[in-house]
């Protein structure tokens, strides 16, 4: 997703949704204990928000959040955190534990396309408009009326690269990554031969956003981080 954001291959990104959905509630141990950092914000929020902060290299202006307690646990069983970045990009980090029809892991909209990561196996697609000028759509029946605005495109998403209804369907960019690079970096830092890949400042920044999210839930209002959040380019 960051590769698509940086390359602007779908145009300018306007909305990012990063989410994790489950239906098995909160497991036991520390995850249900408020005194030990339980709840989904510190369990999954750190990961989803951190990804958004890495993806959009600009300060966060406002944070708005709602937590859910639908399963009756002493900690939150889900959250929806809205971020607005300095360039106007809107992002959502969302988590559910009572969702029997999970959504995509990533859903990114841009001025000329949309991209999704659908599951843990990184299946997904990029759907991108081909022509700058959008041809007139055929109206479709919508309830008792007709609509052009919401007329669906006639696209066979299994046919990659074939232009249909003014869009092309492309595979997601695949990057050569290895989760063990993090641990190699940790050892190199201990040995004094490398700098931290995950800096203390970046961790503090993520936690500051999560604290603002809790404050937003408690006050039913957006928290203004203008002048407080500083983008870290190192």
pLDDT tens-digit readout, 135-154: 788 888 988 899 998 988 88
The pLDDT tens digits of the residues spanning 83-99 come to 999 999 999 999 999 99
Of the candidates 113, 108, 114, which has an alpha carbon nearest to the alpha carbon of residue 134?
113
| Spatial distance between the Cα atoms of 94 and 171, rounded to a whole number of angstroms | 25
What's the pLDDT at 233?
Answer: 58
Give me the chain's average pLDDT, please.
93
Q: Is the dihedral of CA 133, 148, 12, 55 positive or negative?
A: negative
Contact assessment for residue 97 and residue 24, using Cβ atoms and an 8 Å cutoff: yes
What's the pLDDT at 234?
Answer: 44
pLDDT at residue 232 tops 80: no
pTM score = 0.92
The domain segmentation of the chain, as residue ranges, is 2-224
- Residue recorded with tokens 């003014």: 166
Topology of the domain covering 2-224: Dihydrodipicolinate Reductase; domain 2 (3.30.360)
What's the pLDDT at 127?
Answer: 96
| Spatial distance between the Cα atoms of 104 and 21, rounded to a whole number of angstroms | 9
């Amino acid at each position: 997703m960051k590769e698509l954001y940086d390359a602007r291959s779908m145009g300018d990104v306007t909305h990012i949704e990063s989410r994790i959905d489950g239906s098995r509630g909160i497991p036991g141990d520390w995850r249900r204990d408020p005194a030990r950092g339980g709840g989904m914000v510190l369990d999954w929020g750190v990961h989803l928000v951190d990804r958004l902060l890495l993806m959009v290299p600009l300060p966060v202006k406002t944070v708005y959040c709602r937590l859910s307690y639908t399963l009756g646990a002493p900690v939150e069983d889900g959250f929806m955190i809205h971020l607005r970045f300095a360039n106007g990009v809107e992002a959502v980090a969302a988590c559910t534990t009572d969702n029997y029809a999970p959504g995509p892991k990533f859903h990114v909209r841009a001025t000329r396309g949309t991209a999704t990561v659908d599951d843990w196996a990184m299946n997904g697609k990029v759907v991108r408009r081909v022509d700058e000028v959008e041809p007139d759509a055929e109206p479709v029946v919508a309830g008792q009326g007709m609509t052009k605005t919401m007329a669906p495109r006639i696209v066979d998403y299994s046919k990659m690269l074939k232009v249909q209804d003014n869009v092309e369907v492309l595979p997601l960019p695949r990057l050569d990554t290895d989760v063990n690079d993090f641990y190699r970096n940790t050892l190199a830092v201990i040995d004094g031969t490398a700098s931290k890949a995950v800096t203390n400042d970046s961790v503090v920044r993520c936690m500051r956003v999560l604290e603002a999210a809790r404050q937003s839930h408690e006050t039913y209002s957006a928290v203004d981080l203008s002048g407080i959040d500083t983008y870290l380019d190192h």
